[in-house]
């Protein structure tokens, strides 16, 4: 629901916030990302420096069509969702699995720090966890990280996260449904677990522990 909402509101948001410094910074980031794209990328729209907003809009749709983990895109999506959360349009609509809140309660009670590393912006993460179908989960979360820390498939990102949490990497358990992310975390020294919520996710685990529910984590 969140991603279709952001897509449907990109044009209006860019028009209404054309002079917002944060939006201008996102457009600048998108312009730089576009410049770094290979000109051979299929369907890559042109960027007209005289029409940054329209160029950014076209590039945003191109990124979303390809599910690209663009920092500029994720930041702008976070701004769109933030406005919708504050207006009440998205309040309480972020779906989480039934085992998430009980696990958060259990881990917090046991003194375990819970942090999130997502391709979505920190702002988007804060809003999402404060507005879930299981209630406000933000009090359980110690910190949030996004791709401004680094790519999710590079080990250095996980070293930086461990340092920010004041933890030795070997004392951190990283859970993901993406094996390449787990590989990077393991290379950084973290323990890992592959979360396989769907039967279709039953492919190779790459040597990572497998779980199907947070109930399986002590």
Same domain, 109 and 46: no
Identify whether residues 39 and 137 lie together within a single domain.
no
- What is the model's pLDDT at position 96? 92
Both 48 and 111 in one domain: the answer is no
pLDDT for 200 equals 44
Report the CATH number that the domain containing residue 147 is assigned in CATH: 3.40.50.1000
- What residues make up the domain containing 208? 100-216
**Does some domain include residue 207?**
yes
Q: What is the pTM of this model?
A: 0.75
Residue for token pair 């209404």 = 16
Inside any domain, residue 116: yes
Q: What is the full per-residue pLDDT of the chain (218 aa) written as tens digits?
A: 788 999 999 999 999 999 999 999 999 999 999 999 988 889 999 999 999 999 999 999 999 999 888 999 999 999 999 899 888 888 767 889 999 999 999 999 999 999 999 988 898 899 999 989 999 999 999 999 999 999 999 999 999 999 999 999 999 999 999 999 999 999 999 999 999 987 544 456 789 999 999 999 86
Compute how many other C-beta atoms are within 10 angstroms of the C-beta atom of residue 1.
9
Element (H, E) at 191: strand 191-195
Number of domains in the chain: 2
Q: Tell me if 120 sits within 8 A of 146, measured CB to CB.
A: yes
Q: Are residues 11 and 82 both part of a single domain?
A: yes
One domain for residues 117 and 187: yes
Closest CA to 24 of 59, 58, 65, 72: 72
- CB contact at 8 A, 114 and 142: yes
**Do 173 and 199 contact (CB within 8 A), yes or no?**
no
Largest CA distance in the chain: 56
**Pair of tokens at residue 179:** 């094996």
197: tokens are 């919520």
CB 44 within 8 A of CB 36: no
> Is 92 part of any domain?
no
Rounded to whole angstroms, the Cα distance separating 143 from 120 reads 14
């Amino acid at each position: 629901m969140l991603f279709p909402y952001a897509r449907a509101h990109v044009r209006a948001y860019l028009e209404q916030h054309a002079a917002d410094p944060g939006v201008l910074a996102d457009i600048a980031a998108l312009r730089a990302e576009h410049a770094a794209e290979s000109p051979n990328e299929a369907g890559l729209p042109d960027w007209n420096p005289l029409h940054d907003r329209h160029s950014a809009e076209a590039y945003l749709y191109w990124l979303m069509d390809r599910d690209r983990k663009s920092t500029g895109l994720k930041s702008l999506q976070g701004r769109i969702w933030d406005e919708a959360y504050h207006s009440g349009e998205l309040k309480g609509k972020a779906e989480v699995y039934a085992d998430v809140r009980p696990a958060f309660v259990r881990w917090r009670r046991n003194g375990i720090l819970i942090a999130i590393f997502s391709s979505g912006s920190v702002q988007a993460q804060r809003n999402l966890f404060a507005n879930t179908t299981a209630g406000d989960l933000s009090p359980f979360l110690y910190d949030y990280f996004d791709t401004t820390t680094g790519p999710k498939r590079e080990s250095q990102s996980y070293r930086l996260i461990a340092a920010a949490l004041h933890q030795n990497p070997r004392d951190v358990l990283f859970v993901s449904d993406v094996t390449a992310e787990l590989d990077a975390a393991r290379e950084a020294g973290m323990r890992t677990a592959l979360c396989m919520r769907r039967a279709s996710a039953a492919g190779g685990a790459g040597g990572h522990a497998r779980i199907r529910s947070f109930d399986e984590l002590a």
